[in-house]
Amino acid sequence: MAITIKTGTIDDVTAVSKHIPELLTTIDNQTVQKRLNNKKALILVAYLEDTLVGFKIGYEQSTTQFYSWLGGVHFKYRRLGIAKKLLIKQEQWAAEQGYKHIHVKSMNRFPQMLTMLITNGYHIGGYVDKQSTMQSKIKFVKQLAK
């Protein structure tokens, strides 16, 4: 089965986000639009054959820094390498745009995400204490190839 990664829309994100149980709040068009407002942004979506199965959203934080904000894969289509393909495509795009670093935050309660980030060259760059190790956020950074 072929996995295709391409540029998507906010509607694509809201459609697939309904099938990602880890997202604790509903991802609606207004939430995404508000976060991306007046920022240089990239929305990637993943298709398995003709089925929308995942997304990854990021945006510019500065002329040298890109932030990978939100992503996920439909629960029925996991362990097929879709998240990694989205990650790699986002990194390639960010490097092509001239960004030097890509930043992302995750949590201990998402061990697969933590493993994927570390395996793909992301380094721990900080910690946001939320009074619980399951709610606190781990900051990651990766230097992009020139």
pLDDT digits (tens, 9 = 90+) for 13-67: 999 998 988 876 668 888 888 889 999 999 999 999 999 999 999 999 999 999 9
Structure tokens at 23: 């997202």
- Cα separation of 74 and 50, whole Å? 14
Domain containing 21: what range? 3-143
Task: Count helices and strands (H / E) in the chain.
Answer: 4, 7
Q: Is the pLDDT of residue 136 over 70?
A: yes
Q: What is the pTM of this model?
A: 0.92
State the total domains in the chain. 1
Q: What is the CATH number of the domain that holds 44?
A: 3.40.630.30
